[in-house]
Amino acid sequence: MTDPVFRQLTGSEAPLFRSLPDPGLVGRAITGVGYRTVAEGGDYRPEWSWVALRDGAVVARAAWWAGPDDREPLLLNWFDIAPGEEEAGAELLRRAPWNVEYEVIAPAGWRDDPVLRAAVESRTDAAEAAGMKRLVERLTYRWTSDLELPARPGRLEFRPEPDDDVIFDVLRRIHAGSLDAHARLAIEKSGLDLAAQEDLDFFRWCPSPREWWQLGYDPAGELAGIHVPVHNPAGPAVGFIGVVPEQRGHGYSYDLLVECTNMLAETGATFIAAATDQGNFPMAAQFARAGYPVVTERINLV
């Protein structure tokens, strides 16, 4: 058996990337819609897409993603390996020039299906062999307009906050004692300021109105938390929900989530994406209460 060749695609080689046999529903469940380049109306760029070729056949493939205005990839979210080619997949990741997070997308309950479990574990095993470490598993949600819109509880008053310094300070306070794995990783690296700045940078990156960022206040006029509805490149989403430490225990995360959901619905959103860490049981409970069904599970490796 010859050694594999590793290389990025050229502009006309999308069919080569697609030539690896798709493992039916497993492949579509994990990678979502079919691979399409930007020129084909999709999200992927050939120069950010790599293949491992053995005797001219694709045995592993990976595609990195970013927003339309980004100059470098932000995320690896497409990675497939032919049966028995785990080492080729790992080497493909080692040779690619980007050190960004890998997000494995799988159907809810994937561990209960042997075929799905094997497909997910082959990818995560190869990524770990390439030097990545598992950070967190997350639940992703999708509210759609055919579901009931949760009624506003009416306990909080919401106001837009135009001052980024105020938003930064609120985010910094919220991340003290955060259950979010990405926030905790940022805090471990460089403290609360980095965690708050990463969120603020994400809000700014999203192509949605700045005035959507709102603070919520309790009946006494005290700050309860923040919610940030966004439109990311994939559509409307719950960008951030957070309660300041001194207001925790009152269930205000539900009020913030409901306001965020209603605001997006009032702008015409027919679906709303959201996510939380599997270990963040309080927030997962609020998504369930608000009527958000789980649609996929994700594993994040860094």
| Band of pLDDT at residue 139, cut at 50, 70 and 90 | very high
Q: For 217-243, what is each residue's pLDDT tens digit? A: 999 999 999 999 999 999 999 999 999
Provide mean pLDDT across the span 112-122.
93
Q: Say if CB 295 and CB 142 are below 8 A apart.
A: yes
Q: For 149-197, what is each residue's pLDDT tens digit? A: 999 999 999 999 999 999 999 999 999 989 999 999 999 999 999 999 9
Residues of the chain above pLDDT 70, percent: 96
pTM as predicted: 0.94
> 26 pLDDT exceeds 90?
no
